[in-house]
A and B are shown apart, each in its own frame.
Chain A
Amino acid sequence: MSPSRRDFLKTGAAAAAVLATPRVLSAAESQSLLTSPTPLITAPTAEPYVIELAAEALGAAKDAGASYVDVRIGRYRRQSVNTRERQITGVSDTESYGLGVRALVNGSWGFAATSAMTKEGVVKAAREAARIAKAAKAAQKRPVELAPTPPVKGTWMTPVKRDPVDVPIEEKVALLFAANEAALKVPGVRFVTSGMQLLREIKTYVNSEGTETTQTFIRVGPSFQATATGKGGFQSYSEELAPRASGWEYFQSIDMPGNAAKWANLAVEKTGARTVEPGRYDLILDPTNLWLTIHESIGHPTELDRAMGYEANYAGTSFVAPPEKQIGKLKYGTELMNIQADRTQPDSLALVAWDDEGVAADKWLIIEKGMFKDYQTTREQAAWIAPLTGVKKSHGCSFADSWDSVQFQRMPNISLLPGSRDIGLDDIVAATDRGIVIKNRGSWSIDHQRYNFQFSGQVFYEVKGGKIVGMLKDVAYQANTPVFWNAMDMIGGQKSYWLGGSFGDGKGQPSQSNSVSHGCVPARFKNVNIVNTGRGE
């Protein structure tokens, strides 16, 4: 994609208007966008054929009796490259294109999707959606009502300088091989794997209320693992390389070849680690570990559909229920705890201009000074808790992972805001007498109401008298969510903030995968139960 200067200026203005909701551009930023030597790529508009098909589907569902219809047309391109030492273990490039239509008839939903992208194909799907909605009437208790949202028209694209899908495969392989080679030079390192996952998604959304948007999402996910042998046998180390909504420039910023030796050395160091003595410790979690704990113990329980039982048969319900007993009443954690939901955060995976119901990206507090304040909502859900929160509009959390999946409530980026003292991990270690520092994600498991969890990591350091004294292994922390967050007594400041994330947030039946980021700072939790996950031999 190489937009002409004229196109760029045209879209530059449109993009600034569109971006006004998710991210207000300062005058200086707008200026730099226009003069930057490597400008951001222009957001593409929908092909006329796509708009025609959407109109056909919309009309057919209306004709079949729908009071409300929305249509999503998605074109997904997914690439992955995986390597091992000096060879490629897999290259794949997939394309998926199709249309999904959701119809509301007599207050019940129906959804149908097809990859037959012709007038006949999409009309058939639209009629099927209406038919499914009518069939659902047999088991309907409360008709669906949608919170109002203003109709919008526009285009938007993840701000990227270079589309990673278009980067030649040679360049991708060379980068991964350079990282592997650097790691293999470290004495003791036996195996190395590295890879990248890349996504480009062009999504057009049209609804019967006049909204018509086309958004292009770019996401990149690197991976790196080294395995070393030593007197303690094999040990592997996976670097926590956060996936991001970013272009190829993200790979340049993380410099895998330049850092690989450092990461590989951690695998070697792990072979000399001592197995942990189970018991109670003060736990210091690096952002590379804490982001996932936030995801599991705050992100999921504050999904309103979970709290209302809509996920009871699969992902589970939530201890943050019922809403009337929790909003403004549940002391989730200590006063240091401010948790923000935000779909406008730059580089974050859940960054959008509009969600899959045409609702503009939103930013709001889930937890303020430790007190639970609000849930994640869609248009259907907003009214359920509006009397409790005073918020009548949707928070814009509707998302479907593909054209053939129905949209439902999915997690926005949910982050722990930095503390007022601008301190970092080292300062927290220095203030700790007996503790364990954990970095990166390891194994994780949490119950279906999000109380009892057990998380591990990649590297574990023992802290004594304010100093790191050595490396541990077989460490996992096991806790109860509110007890854990009410034990947080120290957090880092802005300088130590880091954005983690995942492509693989699962929920729903049939299961869908959401991409979401979580920003946080290092934090200390007092007196946490540490278990030994070794073989018990």
Chain B
Amino acid sequence: MTLKSLFTPAEMADAEFLSREQAKALADRVLSFAKADETRVTITTGWAGNTRFAGNEITTSGGTTDTVVTVTSSIGKRRASTSTNVLEDDSLKRTVELAERLARLSPEDPEAMPELGPQTYTPINGYFEKTAELTPEARATATQRVISVAEAEGKAAGNLFVAGFLQANARASAVATSKGLFAYHRGTDVDLSVTARTPDGTGSGWASNGARDWSLIDAASIGRIAAQKAVASRNPKAVEPGMWTVVLEPQAVADIMPQLIGTFNARANDEGRGTFSKTGGGTKLGEKIADERVTMFTDPYDPDLLGSPFDSDGLPLKRVVYIENGILKSFSYDRFWANKQGKQPTNSGGGGRGGGGGGGLKFAGGTKSTEELIAGCERGILVTHFFYIRSLDQRTVMLTGLTRDGTFLIEKGKITAAVKNFRWNESPLFMLSKIEEIGKAERTGAGQVMPSLRVKDFNFSSLSDAV
């Protein structure tokens, strides 16, 4: 089998992801095959290494490398995309030709925007060697440590069952257009989550953290907290569902607040079908929609987020403040809608992590710890995290879901009992107006910062027997 390829087999086998020069060479090669009016090439390339554990031992672990080239061809206002991970010339040509053929056959898209020309990007350093070098041996060692810490911490309850997942990624993305744009960004991220269960099956605890930089993750502490919660959550008692004051740990807030992002889309609101559309026209932009202590934004340059400097169109990403001191401050605009409305576009394509598009998401915090939020609570429920969240009503962002792995009763400022899990029906949007306290914000994952919250009248709708 003869292959004509830009890279030698040895180069391809060695590369965990393409360098800037390799990505540029690959993009140029793809563009050289293009005959469409305009062509965009998007490259995602990277390595992922993971270790999964359960029953206090490693169950599966793996390492993968892949590079995917996506070609978007435009002929007039007709456009189509194709992709391949076979980087030989024959395959790249076929992929370009297929995109062009599909584009020709597609009807005109009246909203198609021309591809971007050269752009200026301020580099973001989101790449950390400590993460990229998480070898199978290093992951196994970290896993073993997490398991032994959790086992020791939970000894009082017997032999805890410990399960979890550690995954590291080192990835790069590149965008190039036939109009001279070229963008390249590399980044790393890592996540560790641990679940501990008591041998009697009545207690379960969970803890997790993620970052761009592995050296920021305290693996032992994650194992310890999961074990402590497992032990403390044994023999939960049933308390009546209904409207409760809740203290949500930052991970619980991280489970639901990113669901608000879609509501900040300018077009849906301008067209009268959005969450912030007003009856009779107009939007609530500039109006108070949340407690005055609430500020939420995306910003790839924020040192706690370290997102991507561009989206999949190659558009430079910047700081967008959605809510500032409770006021609905700005919407997100794709290039078509921004052009139509005479605004600056904020983002068109997706990508990135943390729920805020490529730029990440930050919910600004207060000064109190989660413990202080508990201390200030007369009667309420402490939630570790949520599970199986599904939308019930898009416009009001009404969601349903369950609590999980550590749900506790708070009485007179103290945790007094473990309680059974609840199903809830609630909207993060409504919650923003029912806030009693905002705790300190912390990094809940790569590209994501969330505070703990104390919220009143949270709607627990039924009990769940699940542990």
Contacts and interface: CB of A to CB of B under 8 A. Distances in A.
Given A88-B106, A447-B423, A456-B392, 11 more contacts: A92-B81, A94-B70, A116-B13, A123-B13, A135-B139, A136-B57, A136-B61, A138-B143, A451-B466, A476-B392, A533-B392
19 contacts: A88-B106, A91-B80, A95-B83, A97-B84, A114-B65, A118-B3, A120-B12, A139-B56, A173-B107, A234-B273, A309-B161, A310-B55, A317-B197, A319-B466, A445-B389, A445-B401, A445-B402, A452-B421, A454-B400
A451 B463 CA distance: 10
Contacts of A112: 62-64
Interface centre among B68, B135, B164, B466 (most CB of A within 10 A): B466
Interface range for B: 35 or more
B66 interface: yes
Contacts of B55: 141-142, 308-310
A115 interface: yes
Interface residues of A, number: 82
A446 B401 CA distance: 8
Given A314-B165, A452-B465, A110 B52 contact: no
A139 B51 CA distance: 11
Contacts of B144: 138-139
Contacts of A120: 9-10, 12-13
Contact of B13 (A114, A170, A311): A114
A137 B391 CA distance: 43
A509 interface: yes
A87 B136 contact: no
A119 interface: yes
Interface centre among A94, A140, A445 (most CB of B within 10 A): A445
Contacts of B65: 113-116
The 9 A-B residue pairs whose C-beta atoms are closest, nearest first, are A452-B464, A449-B466, A111-B62, A118-B9, A447-B466, A135-B136, A136-B58, A509-B165, A120-B13
B387 interface: yes
Interface string B386-407: 0111111101101011101000
A273 interface: no
B85 interface: yes
A312 interface: yes
B233 interface: no
Contacts of B463: 452
Interface in B81-101: 81-86, 91, 95, 98-99, 101
Interface in B170-200: 193-195, 197
Contacts of A93: 80-83, 98-99, 102
A95 B88 CA distance: 13
Interface string A286-309: 000000000000000000000011
A307 B139 CA distance: 26
B147 interface: yes
B387 A173 contact: no
Interface stretch (A124-132, A240-248, A364-372): A124-132
Interface string B422-463: 010100000000000000000000000000000000000111
A131 B101 CA distance: 45
